[in-house]
Amino acid sequence: MGSPERRLRIALTLGDPGGIGPEIISKALSRADVRELGKFVVFGQKALIEADVEVSDAGHPVPAEAAHTHRPTADGGRASVAWILAAIEAAQSGDVDAVVTAPISKEAMKLGGHSWPGHTEILKEKTGAERAVMTMVGGGLRVALVTTHMAVADVPAALTREDIHDTTTITDNALRRYFGCRAPRIAVCALNPHAGESGMFGDEDEEVIAPAIESARAQGVDCTGPVPADVVFHQALKGNYDAVVAMYHDQGTIPVKLLAFETGVNVTLGLPIIRTSPDHGTAYDIAGQGIADPGSMVEAIRLAASMAARKRAPD
């Protein structure tokens, strides 16, 4: 008889040390229902967390005062990136089965000498992924974003048939591989009110989004649209769709945050590794007060464990 399969190993990165990352990780790992999900390796500094878990002191050390600044710092930016890079390397080598990242600060990263806008861009570059798709999960919704952090005024020109097609097919693949959907149904959002009303409110829906949907269908993806954004999320909650592809950041994140502000999860699809994160920021204003809610971190860990278990399971 073969040896029993080892427990899942899940990496947790502390995020910005001046934010609530250390606190929500400590609180999450103090729960028995979380600890039973697998073995945890925290990438950070032992002194910053209270949980009794394995800690990999990888990367840039953080002066003690940096954890109590309640603001972005160069030390915090360098440390948070070093921990992320070490966790990615561990996932790529197979030492861990998934990575869960605590919140980081774009400003701190810039102060620390890094130009990445955020986690998604780091993950895409370091894993060599052709496309990384930011996806929000919570409140009964799964919403993938075609564009992410850009001005709303820049979105129409930034949308391409290729990007919409790829986001839709990556979402379809992830639903099958990680979420147990054997025949995923995907709704693709319109950009304009009433899906453009035959060109009255813009031609992006007819000229860009509709052809992208047709090309995804040609590859066997069951996708519908463009569906007006003011009705599509209601339809998804009714069970008509397994996921929604949104055209821009707030179009997709507002419905999830409305329904699951304290428990939403950010998942990066399209990567060769599994990565989830709480759907909130560093919350410098309440860091160190012991009042941070770990709910979103708990759900991020749960989802990472579920995805890793499905990836491990035979087809």
Q: What percent of the chain has pLDDT over 90?
A: 83
Long-range Cβ pairs for the range 55-61 (8 Å, 24+) = 56/86, 56/90, 58/82, 58/83, 58/86, 58/87, 59/83, 59/85, 59/86
For residue 200, name the pLDDT band (cuts at 50, 70, 90).
Answer: confident
The pLDDT of residue 15 is above 50: yes
Q: What percent of the chain has pLDDT over 70?
A: 94
What is the rounded CA–CA span in Å between residue 27 and residue 17? 15
Mean pLDDT of 247-255: 97
**Residue 180 phi, psi (nearest 5):** 75, 20
The pLDDT of residue 47 is above 90: no
The pLDDT of residue 233 is above 70: yes
The pLDDT of residue 251 is above 80: yes
Query: What is this structure's pTM?
Result: 0.92
For residue 70, name the pLDDT band (cuts at 50, 70, 90).
Answer: confident
pLDDT at 45: 84
pLDDT tens for 257-310 read 999 999 999 999 999 999 999 999 999 999 989 999 999 999 999 999 999 999
Per-residue tokens: 72: 């972005």
What is the rounded CA–CA span in Å between residue 243 and residue 168? 10
Work out the mean pLDDT of the chain and round it to a whole number: 92
pLDDT at 1: 38
The pLDDT of residue 92 is above 90: yes
Mean pLDDT of 188-207: 88
**From its phi and psi, is residue 96 left (phi > 0), alpha (psi between -120 and 50) or beta?**
beta
Per-residue tokens: 308: 């890793």
pLDDT at 221: 98
**From its phi and psi, is residue 163 left (phi > 0), alpha (psi between -120 and 50) or beta?**
alpha
Integer-rounded Cα Rg, in Å, for the chain is 20
The pLDDT of residue 77 is above 90: yes
Domains and CATH numbers, the chain: 1-129+271-315 (3.40.718.10), 133-262 (3.40.718.10)
Q: Is 273 helix (H, G, I), strand (E, B) or coil?
A: coil
Mean pLDDT of 228-242: 97
Per-residue tokens: 70: 């309640």
What is the rounded CA–CA span in Å between residue 222 and residue 3? 40
Mean pLDDT of 244-250: 97
pLDDT at 3: 43
pLDDT at 46: 81
Residues facing residue 243 across a β-bridge: 186
pLDDT at 89: 96
The pLDDT of residue 11 is above 50: yes
